[in-house]
Structure 1
Amino acid sequence: MSLDKYRHIVVEGPIGVGKTSLARKLAAHTGATTLFEKPEANPFLERFYLDPARYALSTQLSFLFQRITEMKQLTQAGMFEVNTVSDYLFAKDELFARLNLHDDEFMLYQNVFRHLAPQVPAPDLVIYLQAAPETLIERVHRRANPYERPISDSYLTRLSQAYSDFFYHYDAAPVFVVNSENLNFVDKADDFAMLMERIKQMRGAREYFNVGA
């Protein structure tokens, strides 16, 4: 099942939805290079979860500059001329800013973001993973990453809604929306094969994949 027409695939979704696991599986299956978020490299992230009001802007700008640096390096090196799978969409950076920043901070952030964003090409396909907030909360608690321990259940709920709102309006690239509640792409070969087949058959700018319990 070739995905060669998609030179740059992004797997996206809120914390705990499984985007990095699926991105890694896709890359291994297709032989693509990978580009993963590095939350552990953000020196403000853990402090943000403990004190959001104080560290939101520092955290957001740190992520923004980290991502634009990576994207520019890859573009200059011609990396997007070969298949690349990443677990973040540059454009979604604004989603977190809108969710976490005060109005004056958000205006400052927008000025910086809008200056940098034109330097980043849109991907060829976005796979947007969805799951109920309760599922995200359970998964985050279960994996127990040290920097995620302070994340509140209410924040994950608000983040899930923010993702839904963002992708409802996003149209810069084709979007394949996947309800991942009853799917396990990493451990169940049939689930992954079904996903690959549905992506291969995708023809429109937005399609949906949902499997009942």
Structure 2
Amino acid sequence: MNQVPYIAVEGPIGAGKTTLATMLAAELNMPVLKEIVEENPFLGKFYQNIDEWSFQLEMFFLCNRYKQLGDTESQLIRQGTPVISDYHIYKNLIFSERTLKGREREKYRQIYHVLTDDLAKPSTIVYIKASLETLLARIDKRGRSFEQDMDRAYLQQLIEDYEAAMASLAVTEPETTIITVDGDAADFVANPEQFAEIADRVKARIAGHPLR
């Protein structure tokens, strides 16, 4: 376990990662690190033609997240400041393993490990698990134009990929605690009691006494 609490909120597209991370950061009085999404110039093109624009998209995300997390590690975590992020760097592999193929996938894996293997790992992952219907409703509600034509099959596969990824991280990063939030049952925005329950589980983990 890291000496300094480092919390990552994760889940598929539309799960509510940024919203929950922002709420937890306010509750826990921690700085929040938000991933760069809409600034990616390849995002709209990717959703229109995944095969054509996957490598450019994934490399942009990887390089920006590497820089962002590297700066956060040196400026905050190593200085003893707890941090909450709305992503785990591992998400780059979750997406790239699905979108890239052949030599491009292998090249990406190599670059990923060179850049990220020595980055600080989260002490806690808050994983928002949600069904396709819930994700689609939230995607529609937030109204990002480039997400409106998203392939339902792609999103469903992403849900399954996240499940596999969390199982893998439980083995490869045993020092990291994974707190699973039922995104179908818990509306942490509209229901203060449900948010408080999530926050209490995170607080207990930080205190070294995780709730069961």
Cα separation, partners in 2 of 1:77 and 1:160, compared to 1, 3 Å: same
User: In structure 2, what is the Cα distance between the partners aligned to 1:204 and 1:114?
Assistant: 32
Which of 190, 195, 204 aligns to 2:193? It is 190
Deviation at 1:191, TM superposition (A): 0.8
Paired residues of 1:72 and 1:120 also in contact (CA < 8 A): yes
Question: Residue 211 of structure 1 corresponds to which residue in structure 2?
Answer: none
- Structure 1: runs of 5+ lacking an equivalent: 209-213
Paired residues of 1:6 and 1:125 also in contact (CA < 8 A): no
* Residues 1:152 and 2:151 aligned together: yes
* Structure 1, 144-153 or 194-203: larger mean CA deviation: 194-203
Deviation at 1:76, TM superposition (A): 2.0
* Structure 1, 123-132 or 135-144: larger mean CA deviation: 135-144
* Deviations, residues 10-37 of structure 1 (Å, cap 9, x unaligned): 1000011111110000011111101101
User: In structure 2, what is the Cα distance between the partners aligned to 1:99 and 1:114?
Assistant: 17
* Deviations, residues 67-109 of structure 1 (Å, cap 9, x unaligned): 0011111122234521211100002211100010112211010
Q: SS at 2:9's partner residue?
A: strand
Equivalent residue runs for 1:121-132 within 5 Å:
121-132=120-131
Cα separation, partners in 2 of 1:163 and 1:204, compared to 1, 3 Å: farther
Counterpart of 2:194 in structure 1: which amino acid? D
Counterpart of 1:22 in structure 2: which amino acid? L
* Deviations, residues 144-179 of structure 1 (Å, cap 9, x unaligned): 212212211111111111101111111321111111
User: In structure 1, what is the Cα distance between the partners aligned to 2:28 and 2:82?
Assistant: 8
* Residues 1:38 and 2:41 aligned together: no
Cα separation, partners in 2 of 1:196 and 1:78, compared to 1, 3 Å: closer
- Structure 2: runs of 5+ lacking an equivalent: none
Counterpart of 2:54 in structure 1: which amino acid? A
TM-score by length of 2: 0.89
Counterpart of 1:163 in structure 2: which amino acid? Y
Deviation at 1:132, TM superposition (A): 0.8
Question: Residue 28 of structure 1 corresponds to which residue in structure 2?
Answer: 26
Q: SS at 1:184's partner residue?
A: coil
Counterpart of 1:107 in structure 2: which amino acid? E
TM-score by length of 1: 0.89
Q: SS at 2:117's partner residue?
A: helix
* Residues 1:178 and 2:181 aligned together: yes
Counterpart of 1:46 in structure 2: which amino acid? G
Give RMSD over aligned pairs: 1.9
Cα separation, partners in 2 of 1:159 and 1:204, compared to 1, 3 Å: farther
Q: SS at 2:103's partner residue?
A: helix
Cα separation, partners in 2 of 1:132 and 1:192, compared to 1, 3 Å: same
Residue identity over aligned pairs, in percent, reads: 28
Cα separation, partners in 2 of 1:197 and 1:115, compared to 1, 3 Å: same
Q: SS at 1:10's partner residue?
A: strand
Paired residues of 1:46 and 1:147 also in contact (CA < 8 A): yes
Paired residues of 2:124 and 2:178 also in contact (CA < 8 A): yes
User: In structure 1, what is the Cα distance between the partners aligned to 2:178 and 2:24?
Assistant: 16
Cα separation, partners in 2 of 1:204 and 1:30, compared to 1, 3 Å: closer
Counterpart of 1:63 in structure 2: which amino acid? F
User: In structure 1, what is the Cα distance between the partners aligned to 2:93 and 2:180?
Assistant: 20
Cα separation, partners in 2 of 1:142 and 1:69, compared to 1, 3 Å: same
Q: SS at 1:9's partner residue?
A: strand
